[in-house]
Amino acid sequence: MAKIRYIVPALLSASVSLYALAAFSAQVASPAPQAITLNAAPIDLAVNQAPNSHAKPKALSHHFANPTLLGKVKAELAAETESASPAKSQHGGKPTPTPSSSPTATPSPAPVSQGVTSPVPTAISFAGMNLYDGGGYVPPDTTLGAGGSFILEAVNAMGAAYDTSGNLLVNLATTACTTDSSIDSVSDPRVEFDSLSGRWFISSVTFAPIGDASWNLLFSTTNDPTTTAWYCLIISTSGVKNPDGSTGNFPDFPKLGINYDKVVLTGDAYSQVTSRHGSTSYKFQGTEFLVINKSDLTAAVANPRAAFYPPNQGDVAIEPAQELTQTSTNDALYMAAVNSNVSSTANLDVWEITGVPGPSTVAATKTSLGIYTISYPPNAQQEGTTATIDTNDDSLLDAAYRDGPPGSLWVSANDACDPKGDNATRSCARFIHLTIGSGSIAVDQDFDYGDVGTYYYYPAVRSDSSGDLFAAFSGSSTSLYASAYAALQTAGSANVLTNLSIFQAGDSPYTISPPRWGDYSGAGVDPSDGSVWLGAEYATSIPFLGSYWGTAIAHAGP
């Protein structure tokens, strides 16, 4: 079958009300979406491309929105929030919508689960991709999915498909899905296996040059990711009208969510600013997202229907959930974000996207809930060096939803916590569980995982049909190289992890400069048997070339 690339013209601006989130407030009725037209054109998607060049690593961050820039952006937003009138939003002076709920501020720290000694049962673990497999970039942006007897991992510029015994089947050149693969900079992959359609989805972002900026969406034609029959959808953002009147942005930290009838892509919109002296900088324009008719994608319709929500939608790093149980009785797709326009917050926003472009009206509503304070974590110490590993900020990193009743939504993040018996603040893995019923959303669990002297960071989460929570993340200390962890909360437990184990120990200090890590770990549920696969990063080295990152993949069970 011929491979096809879908190319989307620059998104046209629309006259809509743009609401931004005022600190510690609740909102409803997100601005109306903008209709767009998607057009098709053919492409040959490169697969089976062999990596492992063992070139020296590209040490500079491949994100424009690196931790330094992101911290600056959030500091500016915090300053604007403090000076804003209570009746105004923090951008553009638009009125704040009527709240859907009144969040209860709980500025106290989250309870800390610690000291777990029972290991996570792992049937198998194996080495995944590493810096040299992934094109030589830092960090890897580890992500994976499971389904149909395959495990699919993606990092930066490349993907790899494995069988369930850990044998490498094929490498995928995921960066072929962009306007011009010879010059475009592509990163931030997210992988999901859609159980209802039996298709694989891989999203990414093209962030440079700004004229080619886009969301990119690859999807397979079967449940076999080794096939060459993939489709590529390119959604250009080079023509988006930004709130400040400028044109064009790239949707950084892009996220992918899928449910019964929709595919959603989110991003933090950054525009390029060129000074009169020719220097280039980047301005945060707010969040944006796109809702796509999933059946149009899986049927390879020439013009898949979609609705675009331009910046600024409020919040930072909106995390859409993968729906693990897909039914036609509830078409809502859930997204979440901590209101992290400041260095700490006690607010969690939950978005509900209903309808599907074409057959029905798409609507987006948002509810704000009070949570324990979540804060920027400190960078992580590690064995063998005084260099610390970047833990970025407290934005949400992953989300997974199971339909109910009641519905179950898990989200994860990095956080700062003070483990009992410790004399210092550490980076910790934050877990929040929400129950979703008819017309109601409530916080059910809200806790950190931390331990004396140890730093944990970049947790990914999935739950199984029995209600067990599985998580993958990295950890390190002054006596531990950065290692890949698996964690488990058994059903019926609350605000604790009941099992923890290292499934791939680090063996060297991580000394690449800058010491980028994450920005994610990976987790996926195989719908064929309900088992969970976990992927996380660890530190290793090679003679003469020195330090680099590797990833490991584990099959976990309760």
For residue 357, say if its preceding peptide bond is cis, omega within 30 degrees of 0: no
Cβ neighbours, 10 Å, residue 168: 15
Mean of pLDDT values over 177-188: 90
Poorest-pLDDT segment among 248-262, 337-351, 442-456: 337-351
How far apart, in whole angstroms, are the C-alpha atoms of residue 293 and residue 306?
Answer: 6
Which residue ranges form the domains of the chain, and what is each CATH number?
A: 4-14+21-556 (2.130.10)
Give the single-character DSSP code of 203: E
pTM of the predicted protein model: 0.86
* Share above pLDDT 70 across residues of the chain, in percent, rounded to a whole number: 80
CA 232 to chain centre: 20
Q: What is the pLDDT of residue 452?
A: 97
What is the dihedral sign for C-alpha 71, 75, 78, 80? negative
Q: Where are the beta strands (DSSP E) in 121-229?
A: 122-130, 143-147, 150-155, 158-163, 168-172, 185-194, 199-208, 214-220
Question: Structure tokens of 240?
Answer: 């988006």
Q: What is the pLDDT of residue 75?
A: 53
Mean of pLDDT values over 400-411: 93
DSSP string, 489-537: E-TT--SS--EEEEEE---S----SS----S--EEEE-TTT--EEEEEE
227: left (phi over 0), alpha (psi -120 to 50) or beta: beta
Above 80 in pLDDT, residue 405? yes
Position 382 confidence tier, pLDDT thresholds 50, 70, 90? very high
